[in-house]
Structure 1
């Protein structure tokens, strides 16, 4: 316990980094996921194909491989970014595929009659998506999106492998000096657990609040 107290500044700073990466990546992934879903249901075939390929690719490639590729290969191609920014970009495009799958399942819950009524009123595709499909789809998948957010939180730990000092990386550094793995990793694990439970509880409450009664 003394090791944690003596390094509390490092641990708390790393916790802040983990939360920052999680929040920024979550917002970006939500935007990417929604846009991808819109592309998958659009009347333009090339958009549907591109969106489907994007989702399938990122659903079937390990996140660690993408992180290593971005950190070590992209600089050789002339794309230089700070490590934390690189991690956030990778998480956005990776988790965006999972968000897209969740939102697409929400789109499938919208009654076809509502879409037909919207078209009968003369609404364009963009208006149908913006005013009918996306709002109802998001309300229907609050809990699945919460699960994606929890997975995103856990995936931030992989940032330690590329040199970002987040919570797991800080735990490794403290343990290298103090050699108290049980105390340090149990404490850090509890922090992740509390954050995950908090996300789950918030998602559950939000789901009840915005639930659609059909």
Structure 2
């Protein structure tokens, strides 16, 4: 919105053809007041204050929340959450790249297998998949790979292995679609030019296509990983002691169920916040060369918002 301009009497040149000897006064640019912003801000602050007051009046022992925040069992569960999330995401990313390339292949067999994999793991809930892997010994007493490997299923399907397969295979189906979209976003002329130079298909994909596709792949991949951090709470159903299960065990023993849920919520928020910042800077890095101006950092955006409310004087 255009700022209002206040002019003094000397701003208007005198009548006649001669130039005025009186110098022009400095023009004061007064920003237009946006009262709606202040009203909406006051309403939001009032609602937040009411929410804080409501929780402060509830039957919650906040001292217990503070004491159990850094409990060794909780921190151990926090570490297990990070480990299973990173491991499952790495497996999902690897499978996503493989099945995305298979689906884009001209081979009808590999394309059909990739489509079936994506169809099955995207079409069934991850919780059901975890329970299937957890109860796999009910239908297979042994895992027999011939001369390569043979062992009892109950010994192989540990809680960590069940969680890794359940989360990783499910994530691979989603990552396959994300990677496929990223690969298709790269102009086909890049591939044709690489083939004209004698570069094989595998090297072209690794050195030419995938680096350019990362700009499209990174944002949804970061969102998938943050979602993985929260979805990892489901593995408590297969007896893997991650953050939620560790907190629930303490809550059930000490009779502080709600307090420990608040503890778990705090750590989930902390994890997602840290990885969200990392995702932002990773996206900013891969945006170089594709945009004329890089997006502002969180600190630059905060400084711009603070300067928006300041009055400035422009001298002309």
> Same fold per TM (> 0.5)?
yes
Deviations 1:58-90, CA, capped at 9 Å, x for gaps: 111101111100011246412332111221122
- Structure 1 CA distance for aligned equivalents of residues 290 and 133 of structure 2: 44
Deviations 1:127-148, CA, capped at 9 Å, x for gaps: 2211222222223221110011
Segments of structure 2 that go 5 or more residues without pairing to the other structure are 1-62, 143-152, 292-316
Higher normalized helix content (fraction of residues): 1
- Does residue 1:152 correspond to 2:214, yes or no? no
Contact 1:38 1:129 survives alignment (8 Å): no
- Structure 1 CA distance for aligned equivalents of residues 161 and 170 of structure 2: 14
Segments of structure 1 that go 5 or more residues without pairing to the other structure are none
Which structure carries more relative contact order (alpha carbon 8 Å, separation 6+)?
1
Match of 2:183 in 1: 107
- Structure 2 CA distance for aligned equivalents of residues 162 and 2 of structure 1: 28
Contact 1:4 1:184 survives alignment (8 Å): no
Tell me by how many angstroms 1:119 deviates.
Answer: 2.3
**Alignment coverage as a number of residue pairs:** 214
Contact 2:226 2:272 survives alignment (8 Å): yes
Tell me by how many angstroms 1:4 deviates.
Answer: 6.5
- Structure 1 CA distance for aligned equivalents of residues 165 and 215 of structure 2: 26
Match of 1:133 in 2: 209
Deviates more, 1:122-131 or 1:186-195: 122-131
- Structure 1 CA distance for aligned equivalents of residues 123 and 209 of structure 2: 27
Contact 1:17 1:167 survives alignment (8 Å): yes
- CA distance 1:127–1:3, shift in 2 (3 Å): closer
Alignment root-mean-square deviation, CA: 1.8
Contact 1:40 1:47 survives alignment (8 Å): yes
Match of 2:266 in 1: 190
Q: TM-score, length-normalised on structure 1?
A: 0.92
